[in-house]
Amino acid sequence: MLETQFRTLLRREENKTLMLLFRVLDGWTRTTSTGTPVGRGIPQGNEISSFLGNLYLVPLDRALTHFCGRCKAKWFRYVDDVKVFTKSERDAREAVFVINEALRSLHLNLQGSKTEVLSGEALIADQDNSEMKRISAAQEAIRKLNGCKDGKAITAELKPLKDLVSRFRSRLPGSVAKLNGKESRLFRRLLTLYGQCVRPHFRRAAVAALKQLPDEKMLKKTLAYLCQLDYRSHNKIAAELLGVVESDELPFPYQAATVLQAVGRLHPRDPKDVASRVRKYALARKRHWMVVQKGLEAVFAYPYNPENAERLAIRFLADQHPMVRRAACLLLLRGRKHIVRNQLNELIYHADPNVSRLALYFLRFIQDRAFADAEIAQMGKGSQTDFAFQCNLPRLYALAATPERNKKTAEATLNYLDSLPAARSKKIEWHRERLRGLVEWSTRPPPPTAAVPTTPSVK
């Protein structure tokens, strides 16, 4: 559909632009477990997606322009958010039909839950942005503090928002159960601000919202906020999130998978039981592939027995879905060193090219000293936060599997680990000690060579 739209809207003289756009679309094409290409959907959050989305919706723009010219109305569109201002309620309802018909011709649907016809006081209230401006003013004032650690100064800037905070914190879960478009945006902005300030005011409201609202934006915003809170609250947050998925309160697999992804980013004070709970929920019985993938990645992030990690990895490397196989290849790195090396040498011949390329990439850390040294140097120059260290864990476990003949690589890995600042996270501390234990052999002196007795010659 997008390719057809491009050829209709762009002139033949712009053939280079067309070819570039087609290459972008081909790069986004994914394959099923049987190898069938699926050319549906584009990623969110980048400029090219916004451009393609606007280009695809040109027929909607034309339909609205024609309608507003006939009914003397005004319309505005920002990506997929459309507002039409008419002189009568009858024209407003007709605008809904016009939009729905235009979208159906593009094989899209109008979201009924987010479509409203407003008038009178309700319309005035919807157009009133004073509350959003108050949040923006607080954000700007806190930004000007320029990283100030004075909690009282931040509290003073947040105090004028007390009434907005109370609106969403009181009478849970009802206060967040049915948020309209404006209320939803307001709540998300508050989560962004209070997350940046590491304030736990919305912890209970965030958990309630992700259970009540099957909205992707709300799901990601609430989980991002919870992950930003102080590590001291992560024990309780991890327990609450795991309780949500274990009780099957979330109706869609992508919701459970996104929650497991967030659990992997948390830093609870007692991290040892988290991987077992994730395994029992996501991996012990048949689940959607997305849940299994994020479950394997979450297990990788937490303390786990090497032999158990090997068994899980080998089991799910035989899964039908390619994303599950990739996550299993990642978990394999948590196994015993000789098993990791042997399995990677076998996986480079795997039928799935994604698995074989990933195995070959990790094998280079073990076999190619120049490549390993360059990767260690790159990690040393990068960020030294707990989040950055967790992102580097696959590379570090691959480096830790190096054989004893590559002593220099093991020494460089140990030096990198020793150069890191003290970790605030018990989970990160556990990984560092585990990695040190895997490479500390490089500091042991070589065993003494046995002296060979000689018999003096007699002349």
The DSSP result for 59-99, as a single string, is: HHHHHHHHHHHHHT-EEEEETTEEEEE-SSHHHHHHHHHHH
Q: What is the pLDDT of residue 213?
A: 76
For the chain, which ranges sit under pLDDT 70? 1-3, 5-16, 18, 21-22, 24-48, 147-149, 446-459
Q: What CA–CA distances, in Å, run from 440 to 407, 414, 425, 433?
A: 10, 7, 22, 10
Per-residue tokens: 6? 């491009």
CA dist 424 and 269 (Å) reads 10
Where does 229-305 have alpha helices with state H?
A: 234-246, 253-265, 274-278, 289-301
Q: What's phi and psi for 123, nearest 5 deg?
A: -70, -40
Per-residue tokens: 170? 């009181």
Q: Which among 398, 275, 396 is positioned nearest to 332, based on CA atoms?
A: 398
The DSSP secondary structure of 25-49, one letter per residue, reads HHHH-EE-TT--EE-----SSSHHH
- How many helices (H) and strands (E) would you count in the chain? 25, 4
Q: At what angle do helices 369-381 and 353-367 cross, to 10 degrees?
A: 90
174-203: pLDDT as tens digits: 899 888 778 889 999 999 999 999 999 999
- With contact defined as beta carbons under 8 Å apart, do 187 and 168 qualify? yes
Q: What is the pLDDT of residue 456?
A: 58
- With contact defined as beta carbons under 8 Å apart, do 396 and 365 qualify? no
